[in-house]
Amino acid sequence: MVISKRIEPTLLTDQVFAMIHASILSGDLPAGSRLKVRDLAEQVGTSVMPVREAIRRLEEMGLAEREPHKGAVVKSLTYEELIHVYGVRRLLETEAARLGSENITPEDCQRMQAEYELMRKAIDEQQVIALLDHDEAMLAILYQASGNPVLLQMIRTLWQQCRAYKIVGAQGSLDSGTDDSLWRYQQDLVTAARNGDAAAASAVNEASLVDATERIRARLAEQATT
């Protein structure tokens, strides 16, 4: 299994939650994986109670769910949820890009560029999780410039909820070998931010999320037939 590190008997629930949560976001525990309480407790070296509480938190976050005859599992991917989550992301992230580009500093634009370059390196190395991490870091710099911490926090929560979808989409683009959608929109977004072009930044995010939704939808359909 993917969780092997043992932890000290302090703040057990928080630590167990953090470890399982990280494994889900990294893709080590993919959608549909069973979260067996006793197995997880043995792997992390705790009793079953902290694991049960950690799984309850994951269910509240929308990262785990109960299935008949299986118990808790990492939440499965569905077309309906994809449409709903990405629809909300479009509403929030187009506005965050617009506001951020109106207020971002040259120093923050340089930080965005640095994260963009690290993202391109991760793409070249076929490192899905690293490219998503750097992409989110780049976007967070822009969104933080909006001056609305609640907006950024809501977006971060959505990123966690749809990380499994993002992995599917990114991996599909990497596998194609010719898809530039993983970096083309981000490049345009950095340019829009540097120019303080709110309309362009908003439009880039809109186009990026529409494109991502379609790529992930196609990937899910392809997986359903295999």
Which CATH number applies to 79-224? 1.20.120.530
128-158 tens-digit pLDDT: 989 999 999 999 999 999 999 999 999 999 9
pLDDT at residue 8, rounded to an integer: 47
Distance of CA 138 to the CA centre of its chain: 13
| Lookup: tokens for 51 | 């694991």
| Lookup: tokens for 178 | 């010719």
pLDDT at residue 44, rounded to an integer: 84
pLDDT at residue 12, rounded to an integer: 79
pLDDT at residue 9, rounded to an integer: 45
Which CATH number applies to 12-74? 1.10.10.10
Segments of the chain scoring below 50 in pLDDT? 7-10
User: Rounded to whole angstroms, how far apart are CA atoms 137 and 134?
Assistant: 5
pLDDT at residue 6, rounded to an integer: 52
For the whole model, what pTM was predicted?
A: 0.78
Pick the closest to residue 96 from 138, 42, 124 (CA basis): 138
Can you spell out the DSSP letters for 3-42?
------SSSHHHHHHHHHHHHHHHTSS-TT-B--HHHHHH
Q: Where are the domains of the chain?
A: 12-74, 79-224
pLDDT at residue 226, rounded to an integer: 62
